[in-house]
Structure 1
Amino acid sequence: MSGLLTALDLTDTGARTNEDIFTGPSQWMPQGRVFGGQVLAQALVAAQRTLAEDRIVHSMHGYFLRPGDVKLPITFSVDRIHDGRSFSTRRTQAYQDGVPILSAIASFQDEDKGLDHQIAMPGDLPDPESLPTTAESLASLDHPVARYWASERPFDMRYVPSPLFISVDGPQVAHQAVWLKSVGAMPDDMNLHRAALAYASDYSILESIMRRHGLAWATPGIKVASLDHAMWWHRQARVDEWLLYVQESPNAIGGRGLALGRIYDRSGHLIASVAQEGMVRPPR
C-alpha cells in the first residue's frame, strides 16, 4: 500500500514556471515495465491537481504509446482544454526521457442530480471470503513474478471461478469475475480512491480474452499488452472495501482483443465501467 500511495503522491515540478507539470515515481515490476494502471492513475491525479476537489472525474480515455521503464520517473504535462459551468476537460501526457508513453484525456463534472438506472450485479457468485487469495493460489511457486503477484501488489484479488496464473481450469469462456480490494486502509480522499480504482481496473481485464482461448500467463511465448483504456465512473466507492469486477470479451481478431468490465460494490451498486483493447498473441 505504501508503494501505491507514494506513486500517487505526485510532485508539482511546474510550480516555479507556473506550468501544470508533475512528476511521479515508477513502481518496481518484475519484468521492468511500468504497470499500465499505475501510469493511468498518476495521469488522473495530475489532471485532478488542476481542478477544485468537488469537480470529479466521470470519464477517462487513454492510449498506451510505449512501454515505461521502472527505473525512471515519469513526467506528466496537463493541458487545461476546457472549463465550463458544470464540466472540465483535461489532457495529460506522460513522458520518460522526453518521449511520450501515455496520452489521456479526462472529463470532470460537478455532482448533479438526474436520471438513475444501472445493469444489475450478477447473482449467485461466491463471497470473496470463501475464495483463495492470490498468495494461496501461488504458494507452491518460487519465482520472482509469482512472489510479486502473491505479496507485493497493493490489491487483494480473488477469482471466480479461478485464476489464470499457471493454467486455465474449467470451460474456455470469454468471461470471468474478480473480487478485489486494497490490501490496507486508504485515506478518506475520494479522488484518491477514484485514482486507485483506475489503477486496479488495468488488472486482469484482458484475461477474459485469454480464458476464452485457454491461455494462462505462464504460457511459454505468450505476449500480452494493453493498447488503450477507457473508464467511466458512475458512483462513489472505497477501494479498501470489496468490489466485484465483472469482465467479458465480445471479440478478438488480428492479434487484438476487446475486453469490457463492470465494477460493483457489495451492495450491488454499479461503480464504474471499463473498456480495454489489448494485444494478445499466443505462441507460434
Structure 2
Amino acid sequence: HGSPEGKVSVDAGDEVTAFRWGDVLAKGKAEDGPVRIEVVGHHGTEWVHVRVEDKDTGKPVGCRVHFRSKQGNYLAPHGHQQDVNVAWFEDMGGDCKTNGVPYAYIDGTCQIELPRGANYVEVARGFEYDPVRELVEIKAGQRHLTVKAKRAFDMKAKGYYSGDTHVHFLSSQSSHLEAAGEDLNVVNLLASKWGRLFTSWEEFTGGLAPTSSDDHLVWVSQENRQHVLGHISLLGLSELVAPMCTGGPQEDWVGGEVQTLMADWAEACKAQGGLVIMPHMPVPDFENAANIVMGHADAAE
C-alpha cells in the first residue's frame, strides 16, 4: 500500500539511499550501489473456508492447525491470535505454542485469509493421527480448502481411553475444543486458587460439563494446593472441597495459615466417590509422600 510517488529510504551506515516506491513495485526490486531491496510479500490474498476431514469417514474433526506463508510468517485463522502470548494465564483457550510454534485449535472448520501461491499447512490431532505437513497452492478466486487427516490407530477400539487429569484456566467450552483438537476422551478442568485469584470456580457443576459430547467428556473438579505440604488433584467431585488452598503464598494469600491437611482433602474427595491424584511427580513435597504410603492416592502424574 502507499502512493507510487512515495519514497522508501534505507539507512546503510553513513548513507541513506532512497527508492521510488512505484519503481520498486513495477520491477519487484531495486538496487543502488551496495543497497538492494526486493518485494517478497504476497500478491493478493483469498478468503478461504478450510475443512479438516477424517480421511476414512469424511467427517470434520477437531484438530490443531498451523498455516505459514513461504516467507515464514504465521497465518492465524480468523478469530485466533496472530501473536500467541504464552505467559501465565494469558491467551488461554483456542491457541497454543509447542516448541515455540503457534497453533490454532479448530472444530474441523475455520476461515482464513491466505496469500495466493504456496502456503505451508500443518495439522495435528493427538497421538493416534498421522500429522499432516504439506504445501498447498492457493489460486486466484479459490474459496475452499480441504485437508485430510488419517487415523493411524484406534486405542479406544482396544478398550483404552485417553485423557488429561490436569488442566487449568480454560473454560469448559474451550476445554472441549482442545479435547477434540487433541483427540482426548476425557479432560479434567481443575479449579484452583492463586493467592486471592480463583480460577474456573464458576465452571463447576458437580457433574459432566454441559459442553461435553459423546467422544469428549469434560469434568470440572479442583486442585487443592499448599506450598509446603503439597498439591493434590480431586477428580469427579459432586461438591467442591473447601478451603481450596491454604498455608500462605504462592498458593494461598499472604499471611494465610495451614487450615487443613492433604489427607483431609483426600478423604473428602473419596467420600464423594472421587479419584485422588498426586501431581507434579517426582516431587511429592512433604505430606503427599505419606498420603501415597497410606493409600490416599489413586494415581500420580
Select the structure with the greater relative contact order (CA < 8 A; seq sep ≥ 6): 1
Max Rg structure: 2
Per the TM superposition, whether the score is higher than 0.5 is: no
Q: TM-score, normalised by structure 2?
A: 0.20
Structure with the higher helix share, 1 or 2: 1
